[in-house]
Protein backbone atom coordinates (compact mmCIF):
# COMPACT_ATOMS: atom_id res chain seq x y z
CA UNK A 1 0.00 0.00 0.00
CA UNK A 2 2.81 2.35 0.86
CA UNK A 3 4.49 1.52 -2.47
CA UNK A 4 1.26 2.27 -4.38
CA UNK A 5 0.90 5.63 -2.62
CA UNK A 6 4.47 6.53 -3.52
CA UNK A 7 3.88 5.65 -7.16
CA UNK A 8 0.72 7.78 -7.29
CA UNK A 9 2.53 10.69 -5.69
CA UNK A 10 5.28 10.38 -8.29
CA UNK A 11 2.79 10.39 -11.16
CA UNK A 12 1.04 13.46 -9.79
CA UNK A 13 4.38 15.22 -9.53
CA UNK A 14 5.06 14.46 -13.20
CA UNK A 15 1.60 15.58 -14.33
CA UNK A 16 0.40 18.31 -11.97
CA UNK A 17 -3.31 18.98 -12.28
CA UNK A 18 -2.83 22.73 -12.37
CA UNK A 19 -0.80 22.49 -15.58
CA UNK A 20 -2.99 19.93 -17.33
CA UNK A 21 -4.44 21.02 -20.63
CA UNK A 22 -8.20 21.12 -20.89
CA UNK A 23 -9.60 18.12 -22.73
CA UNK A 24 -11.32 19.30 -25.92
CA UNK A 25 -13.38 16.67 -27.67
CA UNK A 26 -13.17 16.63 -31.45
CA UNK A 27 -16.24 17.46 -33.57
CA UNK A 28 -17.99 19.03 -30.57
CA UNK A 29 -18.51 22.67 -29.65
CA UNK A 30 -16.51 22.97 -26.43
CA UNK A 31 -16.08 25.86 -23.98
CA UNK A 32 -12.49 26.85 -23.21
CA UNK A 33 -12.13 28.06 -19.65
CA UNK A 34 -8.58 29.43 -19.67
CA UNK A 35 -7.30 30.81 -22.95
CA UNK A 36 -5.27 33.69 -21.53
CA UNK A 37 -5.91 37.26 -20.34
CA UNK A 38 -9.63 38.02 -20.44
CA UNK A 39 -10.45 41.18 -18.51
CA UNK A 40 -13.79 41.59 -20.33
CA UNK A 41 -15.08 38.14 -19.32
CA UNK A 42 -15.72 37.17 -22.93
CA UNK A 43 -16.49 33.46 -23.33
CA UNK A 44 -14.66 31.18 -25.73
CA UNK A 45 -15.99 28.12 -27.51
CA UNK A 46 -14.03 26.08 -30.03
CA UNK A 47 -14.78 23.50 -32.70
CA UNK A 48 -11.97 21.16 -33.71
CA UNK A 49 -12.77 18.75 -36.56
CA UNK A 50 -12.17 15.01 -36.34
CA UNK A 51 -9.46 15.27 -38.99
CA UNK A 52 -7.35 18.35 -38.47
CA UNK A 53 -5.28 19.72 -41.34
CA UNK A 54 -1.53 20.06 -40.92
CA UNK A 55 -0.98 23.64 -39.73
CA UNK A 56 -4.73 24.26 -39.81
CA UNK A 57 -6.29 27.60 -40.70
CA UNK A 58 -8.36 29.27 -37.97
CA UNK A 59 -11.69 31.05 -38.46
CA UNK A 60 -13.20 33.29 -35.77
CA UNK A 61 -17.01 33.36 -36.18
CA UNK A 62 -18.72 36.12 -34.18
CA UNK A 63 -22.45 36.07 -33.35
CA UNK A 64 -25.09 38.82 -33.54
CA UNK A 65 -26.96 40.65 -30.74
CA UNK A 66 -29.20 38.24 -28.76
CA UNK A 67 -27.08 35.41 -30.18
CA UNK A 68 -24.69 32.99 -28.54
CA UNK A 69 -21.75 30.88 -29.60
CA UNK A 70 -24.10 27.89 -29.73
CA UNK A 71 -26.61 29.75 -31.91
CA UNK A 72 -23.94 30.83 -34.40
CA UNK A 73 -22.47 27.34 -34.38
CA UNK A 74 -25.87 25.88 -35.30
CA UNK A 75 -26.96 28.67 -37.64
CA UNK A 76 -23.85 28.87 -39.83
CA UNK A 77 -22.10 26.14 -41.85
CA UNK A 78 -18.53 26.79 -40.68
CA UNK A 79 -18.33 23.74 -38.39
CA UNK A 80 -19.53 21.38 -41.13
CA UNK A 81 -17.04 22.92 -43.53
CA UNK A 82 -14.32 22.49 -40.91
CA UNK A 83 -14.89 18.74 -41.11
CA UNK A 84 -14.35 18.92 -44.85
CA UNK A 85 -11.32 21.22 -44.91
CA UNK A 86 -9.69 20.61 -41.53
CA UNK A 87 -9.70 24.14 -40.10
CA UNK A 88 -10.50 25.18 -36.51
CA UNK A 89 -13.42 27.48 -35.67
CA UNK A 90 -13.47 29.81 -32.66
CA UNK A 91 -16.90 30.98 -31.50
CA UNK A 92 -16.59 33.86 -29.01
CA UNK A 93 -19.60 34.76 -26.86
CA UNK A 94 -20.40 38.24 -25.58
CA UNK A 95 -20.49 38.65 -21.78
CA UNK A 96 -23.10 41.45 -21.81
CA UNK A 97 -26.90 41.40 -21.33
CA UNK A 98 -28.44 41.19 -24.80
CA UNK A 99 -25.12 39.70 -26.02
CA UNK A 100 -24.17 42.60 -28.26
CA UNK A 101 -20.44 43.23 -28.54
CA UNK A 102 -18.53 46.13 -27.07
CA UNK A 103 -17.57 48.07 -30.19
CA UNK A 104 -18.17 51.44 -28.55
CA UNK A 105 -15.62 51.89 -25.74
CA UNK A 106 -12.13 53.34 -26.05
CA UNK A 107 -10.69 50.07 -24.72
CA UNK A 108 -12.46 47.98 -27.36
CA UNK A 109 -11.27 50.28 -30.14
CA UNK A 110 -7.63 50.18 -29.02
CA UNK A 111 -4.98 47.57 -29.77
CA UNK A 112 -4.32 45.66 -26.52
CA UNK A 113 -6.95 47.79 -24.80
CA UNK A 114 -8.15 44.91 -22.65
CA UNK A 115 -11.78 44.72 -23.87
CA UNK A 116 -13.65 42.12 -25.97
CA UNK A 117 -11.37 42.69 -28.95
CA UNK A 118 -8.31 41.89 -26.86
CA UNK A 119 -9.93 38.73 -25.46
CA UNK A 120 -10.77 37.50 -28.97
CA UNK A 121 -7.19 38.11 -30.11
CA UNK A 122 -6.00 36.05 -27.13
CA UNK A 123 -8.33 33.23 -28.18
CA UNK A 124 -6.54 33.15 -31.52
CA UNK A 125 -3.13 33.00 -29.84
CA UNK A 126 -4.30 30.09 -27.65
CA UNK A 127 -5.68 28.19 -30.64
CA UNK A 128 -2.59 28.65 -32.80
CA UNK A 129 -0.35 27.39 -30.00
CA UNK A 130 -2.60 24.51 -28.97
CA UNK A 131 -3.19 23.13 -32.48
CA UNK A 132 -0.09 24.25 -34.38
CA UNK A 133 -2.20 26.55 -36.51
CA UNK A 134 -1.01 28.54 -39.50
CA UNK A 135 -0.45 32.12 -38.36
CA UNK A 136 -0.69 33.31 -41.95
CA UNK A 137 -4.20 31.85 -42.34
CA UNK A 138 -6.31 33.31 -39.55
CA UNK A 139 -9.67 34.80 -40.57
CA UNK A 140 -12.60 36.53 -38.91
CA UNK A 141 -16.26 36.81 -39.84
CA UNK A 142 -19.44 37.95 -38.14
CA UNK A 143 -23.06 39.03 -38.46
CA UNK A 144 -24.64 42.32 -37.31
CA UNK A 145 -23.00 43.16 -33.97
CA UNK A 146 -20.55 40.38 -34.85
CA UNK A 147 -19.89 42.15 -38.15
CA UNK A 148 -19.18 45.36 -36.25
CA UNK A 149 -16.69 43.41 -34.13
CA UNK A 150 -15.20 41.87 -37.26
CA UNK A 151 -14.42 45.35 -38.59
CA UNK A 152 -13.01 46.30 -35.17
CA UNK A 153 -10.80 43.17 -35.07
CA UNK A 154 -9.47 43.99 -38.54
CA UNK A 155 -8.64 47.52 -37.37
CA UNK A 156 -7.23 46.75 -33.90
CA UNK A 157 -5.40 43.48 -34.69
CA UNK A 158 -4.45 43.70 -38.38
CA UNK A 159 -1.33 41.62 -37.76
CA UNK A 160 -3.47 38.67 -36.60
CA UNK A 161 -5.89 38.31 -39.53
CA UNK A 162 -5.31 37.65 -43.21
CA UNK A 163 -8.90 38.30 -44.30
CA UNK A 164 -12.37 39.11 -43.00
CA UNK A 165 -16.00 38.90 -44.12
CA UNK A 166 -18.59 41.30 -42.73
CA UNK A 167 -22.35 40.62 -42.80
CA UNK A 168 -24.50 43.73 -42.21
CA UNK A 169 -22.23 45.74 -39.97
CA UNK A 170 -20.93 49.31 -39.61
CA UNK A 171 -17.45 50.80 -40.10
CA UNK A 172 -14.88 50.24 -37.38
CA UNK A 173 -15.15 53.12 -34.91
CA UNK A 174 -18.57 54.22 -36.14
CA UNK A 175 -20.35 52.93 -33.00
CA UNK A 176 -18.10 54.81 -30.55
CA UNK A 177 -19.90 56.19 -27.47
CA UNK A 178 -17.09 56.11 -24.91
CA UNK A 179 -19.07 53.55 -22.91
CA UNK A 180 -18.89 49.76 -22.74
CA UNK A 181 -21.51 48.01 -24.88
CA UNK A 182 -23.12 51.30 -25.85
CA UNK A 183 -25.64 52.00 -28.61
CA UNK A 184 -24.96 54.67 -31.21
CA UNK A 185 -28.19 55.58 -33.02
CA UNK A 186 -26.47 58.06 -35.32
CA UNK A 187 -24.25 55.31 -36.68
CA UNK A 188 -26.98 52.66 -36.76
CA UNK A 189 -29.24 54.99 -38.75
CA UNK A 190 -26.56 55.58 -41.36
CA UNK A 191 -25.96 59.20 -40.40
CA UNK A 192 -22.24 58.90 -39.63
CA UNK A 193 -20.97 60.05 -43.00
CA UNK A 194 -17.26 60.85 -43.38
CA UNK A 195 -14.61 61.07 -46.05
CA UNK A 196 -12.25 58.23 -46.87
CA UNK A 197 -9.48 60.16 -45.18
CA UNK A 198 -11.46 60.60 -41.97
CA UNK A 199 -12.35 56.90 -41.84
CA UNK A 200 -8.73 55.99 -42.54
CA UNK A 201 -7.61 58.14 -39.62
CA UNK A 202 -10.20 56.40 -37.41
CA UNK A 203 -8.73 53.00 -38.25
CA UNK A 204 -5.14 54.09 -37.79
CA UNK A 205 -5.85 55.57 -34.36
CA UNK A 206 -6.90 52.12 -33.17
CA UNK A 207 -3.34 50.85 -33.56
CA UNK A 208 -1.00 53.85 -33.58
CA UNK A 209 2.25 53.35 -35.43
CA UNK A 210 1.22 50.12 -37.16
CA UNK A 211 2.32 50.10 -40.80
CA UNK A 212 2.22 46.39 -41.65
CA UNK A 213 -0.18 44.41 -43.85
CA UNK A 214 -3.92 44.53 -43.23
CA UNK A 215 -6.59 41.88 -43.77
CA UNK A 216 -8.48 41.97 -47.03
CA UNK A 217 -12.16 42.77 -46.53
CA UNK A 218 -15.35 41.22 -47.94
CA UNK A 219 -18.44 43.38 -47.22
CA UNK A 220 -22.10 42.26 -47.41
CA UNK A 221 -25.13 44.50 -46.79
CA UNK A 222 -28.82 44.65 -47.67
CA UNK A 223 -30.60 47.66 -49.15
CA UNK A 224 -33.66 47.10 -46.91
CA UNK A 225 -31.77 46.98 -43.62
CA UNK A 226 -33.64 49.08 -41.04
CA UNK A 227 -31.49 48.04 -38.07
CA UNK A 228 -28.08 49.06 -39.39
CA UNK A 229 -29.11 51.22 -42.31
CA UNK A 230 -27.69 50.52 -45.78
CA UNK A 231 -25.70 53.75 -45.80
CA UNK A 232 -23.33 51.83 -43.53
CA UNK A 233 -22.34 49.72 -46.52
CA UNK A 234 -21.10 52.82 -48.35
CA UNK A 235 -19.27 54.09 -45.27
CA UNK A 236 -17.63 50.71 -44.64
CA UNK A 237 -16.45 50.56 -48.25
CA UNK A 238 -15.13 54.12 -47.94
CA UNK A 239 -13.30 53.22 -44.72
CA UNK A 240 -11.43 50.25 -46.14
CA UNK A 241 -10.93 51.92 -49.52
CA UNK A 242 -9.14 54.68 -47.68
CA UNK A 243 -7.03 52.24 -45.70
CA UNK A 244 -5.97 50.38 -48.86
CA UNK A 245 -5.56 53.50 -50.99
CA UNK A 246 -8.49 52.74 -53.35
CA UNK A 247 -11.19 55.10 -54.64
CA UNK A 248 -14.61 54.04 -53.36
CA UNK A 249 -16.37 56.52 -55.65
CA UNK A 250 -15.15 54.91 -58.87
CA UNK A 251 -15.68 51.14 -59.03
CA UNK A 252 -14.30 49.66 -62.21
CA UNK A 253 -16.33 46.44 -62.24
CA UNK A 254 -19.98 45.84 -61.37
CA UNK A 255 -21.57 42.37 -61.67
CA UNK A 256 -25.37 42.38 -61.19
CA UNK A 257 -26.97 39.07 -60.24
CA UNK A 258 -23.82 37.82 -58.53
CA UNK A 259 -23.74 35.49 -56.62
CA UNK A 260 -27.53 35.34 -57.01
CA UNK A 261 -30.54 37.43 -58.02
CA UNK A 262 -30.89 40.78 -56.20
CA UNK A 263 -27.20 40.87 -55.33
CA UNK A 264 -24.68 43.07 -57.08
CA UNK A 265 -21.03 42.25 -56.73
CA UNK A 266 -18.59 45.10 -56.58
CA UNK A 267 -15.77 42.63 -56.70
CA UNK A 268 -12.10 43.11 -57.32
CA UNK A 269 -13.47 46.58 -57.96
CA UNK A 270 -11.73 48.78 -55.49
CA UNK A 271 -8.65 46.56 -55.53
CA UNK A 272 -7.65 43.00 -54.67
CA UNK A 273 -8.11 43.59 -50.93
CA UNK A 274 -11.72 44.84 -51.00
CA UNK A 275 -14.90 43.33 -52.44
CA UNK A 276 -18.51 44.24 -51.73
CA UNK A 277 -21.89 42.55 -52.20
CA UNK A 278 -24.94 44.80 -52.04
CA UNK A 279 -28.27 42.94 -51.88
CA UNK A 280 -31.36 44.75 -53.16
CA UNK A 281 -34.46 44.12 -51.02
CA UNK A 282 -32.55 42.13 -48.41
CA UNK A 283 -33.03 43.30 -44.84
CA UNK A 284 -31.11 42.76 -41.65
CA UNK A 285 -29.19 40.52 -41.95
CA UNK A 286 -27.69 39.21 -45.18
CA UNK A 287 -27.55 35.39 -45.00
CA UNK A 288 -24.08 33.92 -44.56
CA UNK A 289 -22.45 32.88 -47.84
CA UNK A 290 -19.80 30.57 -46.44
CA UNK A 291 -18.77 29.36 -49.89
CA UNK A 292 -17.77 32.90 -50.80
CA UNK A 293 -16.07 33.33 -47.43
CA UNK A 294 -13.89 30.26 -47.91
CA UNK A 295 -12.94 31.39 -51.41
CA UNK A 296 -12.07 34.84 -50.08
CA UNK A 297 -10.02 33.29 -47.28
CA UNK A 298 -8.16 31.10 -49.78
CA UNK A 299 -9.28 27.87 -48.09
CA UNK A 300 -11.04 26.79 -51.28
CA UNK A 301 -10.09 27.59 -54.87
Contact between residue 67 and residue 76 where contact means Cβ atoms under 8 Å apart: no
Would residue 40 show up in a list of annotated catalytic residues for this protein?
no
Where does residue 97 rank: exposed (0-12), middle (13-18), buried (19+ CB within 10 A)?
exposed
Mean pLDDT of 38-59: 97
d(CA 256, CA 262): 8
Residue whose C-alpha is closest to residue 280's, from 295, 296, 258: 258
d(CA 116, CA 228): 21
- Residue range 67-126, pLDDT digits in tens: 999 999 999 999 999 999 999 999 999 999 999 999 999 999 999 999 999 999 999 999
d(CA 154, CA 151): 5
Give me the pLDDT at residue 267, please. Answer: 54
216-222 and 163-167 beta bridge pairing: parallel
pTM for the whole thing? 0.92
Given pLDDT bands bounded at 50, 70 and 90, which one contains residue 17? very low
User: Residues 144, 165, 192, 241: which is the catalytic one?
Assistant: 144
d(CA 173, CA 187): 10
Helix (H, G, I), strand (E, B) or coil at 6: helix
Q: Angle between the 116-131 and 145-156 helix axes, to the nearest 10 degrees?
A: 70
pLDDT at 55 over 50: yes
- CA triple 168-219-32, angle to 5 deg: 70
d(CA 226, CA 222): 9
Question: 38: number of CA atoms within 13 Å, CB side?
Answer: 19
- Residue range 137-168, pLDDT digits in tens: 999 999 999 999 999 999 999 999 999 999 99
Contact between residue 144 and residue 163 where contact means Cβ atoms under 8 Å apart: no
Mean pLDDT of the chain: 92
d(CA 219, CA 276): 5
- Residue range 236-290, pLDDT digits in tens: 999 999 999 999 987 768 889 999 999 998 755 678 899 999 999 999 999 999 9
Rg of the chain taking only CA atoms, in angstroms:
20
Bridge partner list, 59:
89, 139
Helix (H, G, I), strand (E, B) or coil at 200: helix
Give 190's contacts (C-beta < 8 A, 6+ positions apart). 228, 229, 230, 231, 232, 235
Amino acid sequence: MKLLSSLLAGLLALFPLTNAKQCIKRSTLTPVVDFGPNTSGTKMYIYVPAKLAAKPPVIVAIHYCTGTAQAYFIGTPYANLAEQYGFVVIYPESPYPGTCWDVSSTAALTHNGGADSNSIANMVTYTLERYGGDESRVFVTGTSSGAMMTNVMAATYPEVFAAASVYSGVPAGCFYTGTVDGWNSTCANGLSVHSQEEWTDTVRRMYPGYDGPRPKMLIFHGSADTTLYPENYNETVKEWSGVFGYDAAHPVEVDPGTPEAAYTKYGIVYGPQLTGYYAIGVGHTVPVHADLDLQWFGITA
